[in-house]
Amino acid sequence: MDPKAALIVVDMQNGFLNHHTEHLVAKVAGLIDRWSATGRPVVFTRYLNYPGSPFERLIHWTRLQTSPETDIAPGLLPHVEQAVAVIDKPAYSWFTPQAASLAAEERWSDLVFCGVATESCVLKSAADAFERGFTPWIVTDACASDAGPEIHDAGLRIARRFIGSGQLVTSDQLLTRLTTPTAEHEMERSGHPLSP
């Protein structure tokens, strides 16, 4: 099986967890377990706000500047220890210079996004992956918005227009693509690990 796909776990940090998102910790942990069993890599991102950032200046948002808000959820820490990298980022997208270099060095073709928040950091990361020539995927049941389900759904609607409706999959659909003989044959034929 071609391992040129990476799971990017976006901003699963204490400061983004609330009654709309706390269910994701167990969901993402389960997805990581199943993903890792296929031999594919996992990367975590961690958003770090800073004084004078555009978030502070323009939208008056000052959270996630210090621990414990910036810390990754305790329920995911065992997975963090096994991750290929933890990418610190000061913006929505996962594409920092470190992340771009890592993706190029590892020659990943597909980037699979889950985490928080669907309408911002997950969406922006997937759209940037699309524009940089990667094949992006969003795992719809392993991401959420801390602003609630309506905003999550709005993010998915926009994602369908940005990266294609076929790039949005559930955890089960994703893992079926990775583990079925048909999916494996398609991967070898197309050169893309997750191509439909």
**pLDDT band of 3, cuts 50, 70, 90:** low
Whether pLDDT at 14 is above 80: yes
Q: Which residue has the higher pLDDT, 186 or 93?
A: 93
Separation between Cα atoms, residue 193 and residue 7, nearest integer Å: 12
Q: What does residue 192 show for φ and ψ, rounded to 5 degrees?
A: -115, 125
3-class DSSP state of 171:
helix
For residues 10 and 147, is the Cβ–Cβ distance under 8 A?
no
The whole model's pTM is what?
Answer: 0.90
Residue labelled with tokens 């959270």: 63
Whole-number pLDDT of residue 118: 98
Three-state secondary structure readout of 8-56: EEECCEHHHCCCCCCCHHHHHHHHHHHHHCCCCCEEEEEECCCCCCHHH
Domains and CATH numbers, the chain: 5-190 (3.40.50.850)
